[in-house]
Structure 1
Amino acid sequence: MRPFPPRRLQVHARADTGTTPEEAVAAATARHSYAVADGNNLQLTATPPRKIALLVEPSPFTHTSGYSNRFKNLILQLRQAGDDVLVVVPDNDPNAPTEFAGATIVNVPGFRFPLYRRITLTLGLRGVYRALKQFDPDVIHLTTPGFLIFSTLLYARLLRKAILLSYHTHLPIYAKDYGLGTFQGVIWTMLRLQHNRADFTLTTSPQLCEELVENGFERVGLWRKGIDTHIFNPKYKCANMRHQLTQGNPQDPLLIYVGRIGAEKNLIFFKQLMARFPHCRLALVGDGPYKHTLQKELAGTKTVFTGILHGETLSRAFASADVFVMPSESETLGFVVLESMASGVPVVGADAGGIPDIINDGENGFLFSRGSHDECANRVERLLGDGELRARMGQNARDEALKWSWRASAAATRNVGYGRAISNFKYRAMGGLGLPRSLTWLRWIRVKLAMLKQRLFGRLLVGLNAH
């Protein structure tokens, strides 16, 4: 699909400076994202406390997802910085929490998503506007894609509030994996229209930032990754857990995958991988709509499906494996990859999405080309056959994970991301006098003047024709 030409991304190759078109694209892309390496930005309290409204769909409190830990840790850090935090989530569970780390949680009615019954989504028609109006935030932070975006964009304009969108699920790739590839163009158009109404967009890898900009997204920035290296730690390596994951054969090589078991994760990849290594054990940790199909495809192989694991049990599962295999090509970041690295277990992952931003090929893990079963198998075979290499890569992976704390991630989000959203809102709202791209009183005057001019010009034409 040919990328949509962005309206505000100006790319010019200059002959007098020797700038190539590729360098010009890179420079233009850099202007639309932000760097988080500035030490001042990574100080949690570099900016004064604000009122932050987080609208997260689905709920990170009763639904296990890739970003659950991210938002829980973000809330913890925002509260430590002195921010007043309101969290609005769709949740019909009567036992859903109403408070987390001092932040108020408002649970609004929702519906089960037909393609994945475990998650609850909402159109935001009940309870959301009232909660936002009463809270009166400085900035609204909404996760996308989802159904809540349609109403929240309207609410932000009605309340005259800055809005930041964080992009977590790469919907165009998901559409392709679910047999809806013909709708990719429509999906890109829909996402572009939504995000360009916002004041700032955060996404989780430089590669995805670049892809969004190439497809016409404006005001795009990088959401710094984070990991809890205390929870995910080599110290949790456990003989009993390995005995369980290998079904009583701990001496066998153990491969592991942790995450949602969905068609978009490309888990059918394991069928050929296990055919190549019939002596290996495979542990699939997680659940999802593709589980029953995958169980049939992997019947006869040494594979165990553990279901969803939590807490220290999950930490032990990560640390007790030999190699983590990530075949998914749709990861916007790949938290489980970072969690495996923090656990001291090297990763063999697809060279796609946000994974190349985490894995330094040949140093702390291996990358393989999209769809290449042979490359993946060769990388796995090399790790399994060389214990010293596996140990060295595992340590390098751990060292890399230690660089990315949740505190630094939250500091960049609140100091830079929220700051950009607020400043962009004020700029787009003409210094706060009106609402961006809406019928403000200044725009109303311009519209009336244009209508008057058109009317007078029309009468003049009529007069000329009459003569």
Structure 2
Amino acid sequence: MASLLQQLVKQGHEMLVFTLEKHPQLEPAADPASKPIRFVTLDSSFLAVYPTKRLAMPTLTNMNLICNTIRLEGPDVLHCTLDCISAFFILAAKFYHVPVVGSVHTDVQELLAELNVAPIAGSLITFKEGVESRLLDSCATTSPSFKSKLAGRGVVCDHIIKTGVTVGQFRPGVSNAEVRNRLTFGNPEGLLVVYVGRFGPEKRLDKLVQMCGSVDGVYLALIGDGAMGPALSERHGCWSNSGKRRTKGGVYCRIGFLGHEDLAPVYASADVHVSCSHFETLGNTVLEAHASGTAVVVPRAQGFIDTVNHEEDGFLFDGHRLAEGAAFLARLRDDRDLCASMGERGRQKVQMQSPEMVSKHVLEWYRRARASTKGQKITTSLATVAAEQLSSLVKVLMGVGICLLILLVVALWFAVEAVQVLGGSVVRYCHNARNVLGNSSFFNKVSNSYKALTNITVEREATR
């Protein structure tokens, strides 16, 4: 994101970014003559189902802030991601006649399934994305495989956004012997494999640790943060030895995300980039690994199949068969020339995905959306004008409906969470009350009297 913003600013474009951060660090260094990037901070919070992911909240405050900002700024084009409050942006853009494009970057339905959320939530998200995609002047995503999946859900997606990687920053030349020595616990001759990203349950990092631990001589470096961070940090260290077989390797777990400047030496110093995730919209870390000249071993899954050429710049394995992934790691461990050649082919492949090239591609997409919107405003008769006004009214009403739907979903979500929390409190209270009453002489006397009454009733029934 920062690299794309930097290129757009360098080209003289003015940027206004809605963010969830109170003190955003997205502003890149630009030409002093260029206008600085401005930020608008939205209300956000965390949900219990995914406590480490900050989400914009569908509040009236946010809706008012978005509408007023768009009204006062009058942007040439509005680009929003389809998230919790994307309907607010679409509604405001339609009301103030601003061209609006949207992009889908997260497979929310798969994420909710991995988190064991009720299926109705995924169905509501599917309906919401389908309606919003039809209200947008253009809808995009980042990979052909995810675009095909969205089409199956009824989402109208007509564009694929190219993802850029700063090949000048992520490159083999920044390899660092000290970094490699630290990540391998002083055993730089081992096979250093690295995972970079969120430590979320959907990333199946427990399976990744299991897969890497089954291969002798593999050192797995986990770089990132998330809900599984504390559990993964307990695995930090060398593999334990079992039986007579001495196992070499270990897990290096660093909690906390790294900036590109610190992350580039990690990629360049590693031999392989790995993952066990079953789904990605694209897999940006694969592109960064390719740019760094590092081979890749990832599942044959959505997103990854668009970024990795099997047996050319990496290996694709069945995510349900960890032994297959482990075999590929063992093969790269024993054949370092193959590992290096895969990395070099990956670097050659991403040379055309520089931020400069991607910014041109994105601007062309914006221009097409604006041209399409302007074309829709050309009218030749009163009937056409009336039809367009009716169409705009319908779109606004649909936008309002989506907003209300989002508010309903969020309200139901919080209600479920409240019931769970309250229910847990009631159960704990009853359990504690039972323990207290169980030790009470008064309660024992009352209980024994009822037991005696029951025995008398049973005896009378028997005599009859």
Scaled by the length of structure 2, the TM-score of the pair is 0.73
Pair 1:77-2:7 in alignment: yes
Does the alignment pair 1:196 with 2:134?
A: yes
* Contact map agreement 1:97 1:105 (CA 8 A) in 2: no
Deviation at 1:117, TM superposition (A): 4.0
Q: Tell me which residue corresponds to 1:108.
A: 41
Larger mean Cα displacement after TM superposition, 323-332 or 270-279? 270-279
Are 1:303 and 2:251 an aligned pair? Answer: yes
Find the aligned partners of 1:328 and 1:117 in 2 and give their Cα distance: 18
| Partners of 1:120 and 1:176 in 2: CA distance | 18
Is this contact kept in 2: 1:341–1:397, CA < 8 A?
Answer: yes
CA distance in 1, matches of 2:360, 2:390: 27
**Higher relative contact order (Cα pairs below 8 Å, separated by 6+ residues):** 1
1:319 aligns to what?
Answer: 268
Amino acid at match of 2:56: L
Are residues 381 and 96 of structure 1, via their aligned partners in 2, closer, same or farther at CA, if it must alter by over 3 Å?
closer
The answer as to whether partners of 2:79 and 2:100 remain within 8 angstroms in 1 is yes
Asked if the contact 2:4/2:164 (under 8 Å) is kept, the reply is no
Structure 1 residue 83: Cα displacement: 2.5
Give the aligned partner of residue 66 of structure 2: 128
Per the TM alignment, residue 99 of structure 1 is displaced from its structure 2 partner at its CA by: 8.6
Of 123, 142, 148, 2:85 maps to 148
Q: 1:368 to 1:99 in 2, by over 3 A?
A: closer
Q: What are the Cα deviations for residues 404-450 of structure 1, in whole angstroms up to 9, with x where unaligned?
A: 111111111111x213322343455675954583328xx9xxxxxxx
Change (3 A) 1:435 1:429: farther
Q: Distance in 2 between matches of 1:188 and 1:436?
A: 26
Please state if 1:88 is matched with 2:23.
no
Aligned length: 368
Give the structure 2 partner of residue 393 of structure 1.
342
Deviations 1:128-158 (A, max 9, x none): 22221111112110122x2221311211111
Instruction: State the 1:87 CA deviation.
Output: 1.7
Q: What is the identity, as a one-letter code, of the residue corresponding to 2:223?
A: V
Question: What secondary structure is seen at the aligned counterpart in 2 of 1:88?
Answer: strand
The aligned amino acid for 1:180 is V
| Corresponding position: 1:245 with 2:183 | yes
Q: Aligned AA for 1:112?
A: S
- The DSSP-based 3-state class of the residue aligned with 1:195 is helix
Question: Are the equivalent residues in 1 in contact too, given 2:271–2:294 (CA < 8 A)?
Answer: yes
* Letter of the 2:13 counterpart: D
What residue is the counterpart of 1:422 in the other structure?
A: 370
Distance apart, 1:100 and its partner CA: 6.9
In structure 2, relative to structure 1, the CA distance for the partners of 1:99 and 1:393 (3 Å cut) is closer
Map Cα deviations across residues 178-210 of structure 1 (whole Å, 9 max, x no partner).
112624333222221222221111110111112
The residue that corresponds to 1:119 in the other structure is: 54
For the pair 1:343 / 2:292, whether they are aligned, the reply is: yes
1:113 maps to a residue whose letter is F
Whether the 8 Å CA contact 1:195–1:201 is kept in 2: the answer is: yes
In structure 2, C-alpha distance between the alignment counterparts of 1:335 and 1:193, rounded to whole Å: 28
**Relative to 1, partners in 2 of residues 1:311 and 1:96: Cα closer, same or farther, differing over 3 Å?**
closer
Instruction: Describe the superposition over 1:151-178 as per-residue Cα deviations: whole angstroms up to 9, x where unpaired.
Output: 1121111111111011111111111111
Superposition deviation, residue 256 in structure 1: 0.7
SS of the residue 2:198 aligns to: coil
Contact 1:429 1:435 in 2 (8 A): no
Q: Which residue of 2 aligns with 1:439?
A: 393
SS at match of 1:313: helix
Change (3 A) 1:99 1:320: closer
How far apart, CA to CA, are the structure 1 residues paired with 2:389 and 2:16?
23
Do the aligned partners of 1:108 and 1:127 also contact (CA within 8 Å) in 2?
no
**1:8 matched residue in structure 2:** none
* Greater mean deviation of Cα atoms: 233-242 or 306-315: 306-315
Q: Distance in 1 between matches of 2:146 and 2:11?
A: 29
Which residue of structure 1 aligns with residue 219 of structure 2?
Answer: 281
1:386, distance to aligned residue in structure 2 (A): 0.4
Q: Which structure 2 residue ranges, 5 or more long, are not aligned? A: 240-249, 398-464
**Is 1:262–1:290's contact at 8 Å kept on the other side of the alignment?**
yes
Deviations 1:346-390 (A, max 9, x none): 000111121111111111111112322122111111111101111
CA distance in 2, matches of 1:163, 1:187: 20
- Residue in structure 1 matched with residue 108 of structure 2 by the alignment: 171
Residues 1:408 and 1:436: Cα distance change in structure 2 (over 3 Å): farther
Deviation at 1:306, TM superposition (A): 1.6
* Structure 1 spans left out of the alignment, 5+ residues: 1-70, 444-467
Which residue identity is paired with 1:236?
Answer: V
What secondary structure sits across from 2:352 in the alignment?
Answer: coil
Over 3 Å counting, the alpha-carbon distance change for 1:99 and 1:224 in structure 2 is closer
CA distance in 2, matches of 1:236, 1:358: 23
2: CA distance, partners of 1:372 / 1:298: 25
Aligned-pair CA distance for 1:265:
1.4
The answer to whether the 8 Å contact 1:235/1:319 transfers is yes
Check the 8 A contact 2:138/2:158 in 1, yes or no. yes
| 8 Å contact from structure 2 (residues 3, 28) kept in 1 | no
TM-score, structure 1 length as denominator? 0.73
Change over 3 Å in CA distance of 1:147–1:429 after alignment to 2: farther
Alignment check: 8 A CA contact 1:254 1:323 kept: yes
Question: Quick one: distance in 2 between partners of 1:275 and 1:422?
Answer: 52
- Higher CA-based Rg: 2
| 1:157 is the counterpart of 2:87 | no
Q: CA deviation at 1:120?
A: 5.3
Do 1:326 and 1:337's aligned partners in 2 also have CA atoms closer than 8 Å? Answer: no
AA partner of residue 342 (structure 1): A
Query: Which residue of 149, 173, 177 maps to 1:211?
Result: 149
